[in-house]
Amino acid sequence: MNKEIIFNDLGLIDYQDAWDFQESLFQETITQKGHPDKPQTSNFLLFCEHPHVYTLGKSGSENNLLINNQALAEKGVSFFRTNRGGDITYHGPGQIVGYPILDLENFKLGIRKYIWLLEESIIALLRDFGISASRLDGASGVWLDADQPGKVRKICAIGVRSSRYVTMHGFAFNINTKLEYYNYINPCGFTERGVTSLEKELGSKQDIEKVKIQLKAHLLRLLKNH
């Protein structure tokens, strides 16, 4: 069982380019699993930021995109239908997007526990900043004030794809994100729940590179030692 994880920060990268890179690692890992001469598979963790883009999960509704193609073009926002789970979300500068391409069998994980660990890494990171976060029944991701219907807000969205226990796609964690872009969608299909960022919660712009270091440490710790 190989628990080593190869980390790569791709920086600011177009969504399609990151998706293509993910897909190549994903397919390579699946092929490795089926090769008798290469029983040990590799694991990868990619961090990046994207230019403004809305992505729709395979079970999502395009009705949750609230503007037309002309408005998208005017605002400089791309739109992609993806093969991950979940509904619609936004990616943009100031957001840490994480794409773990892992063979979950290396970590003795099922998909539900894996998603739980992704959420737990964000919850642990937020605890470092004095922010109490949790899960919300019936919804993936990480939420603040989940027990207060009028105040509940999402700070991290999660949507993954898996095949033969190999994962791709992942999470989008709002750090210094321009939250006005969420006004043009029903985030994750919800109409009555808000969205927030680390910057908004703390009242000042955050050093995203330092946050990446802390988040990477939490992720690797939880995945290797769960």
Sign for the pseudo-dihedral over CA of 220, 83, 61, 55: positive
How big is the CA angle at 143 (ends 98 and 14), to the nearest 5 degrees? 25
Q: How far apart are the first and last CA of the chain?
A: 15
CA 158, CA 148: separation in Å to the nearest integer? 21
Residues 188, 198, 208, 211: which is the catalytic one?
A: 188
Active-site annotation holds for 156: no
CA 173, CA 60: separation in Å to the nearest integer? 20
CB 141 within 8 A of CB 157: yes
CA 149, CA 167: separation in Å to the nearest integer? 32
3-state secondary structure 3-24: CCCEEEEEEECCHHHHHHHHHH
Instruction: Report the candidate in 62, 79, 83 with the shortest Cα–Cα distance to residue 20.
Output: 83
For 113-215, where are the E strands, in sequence order? 134-136, 139-144, 153-163, 166-174, 194-195
Residues acting as catalytic residues = 188
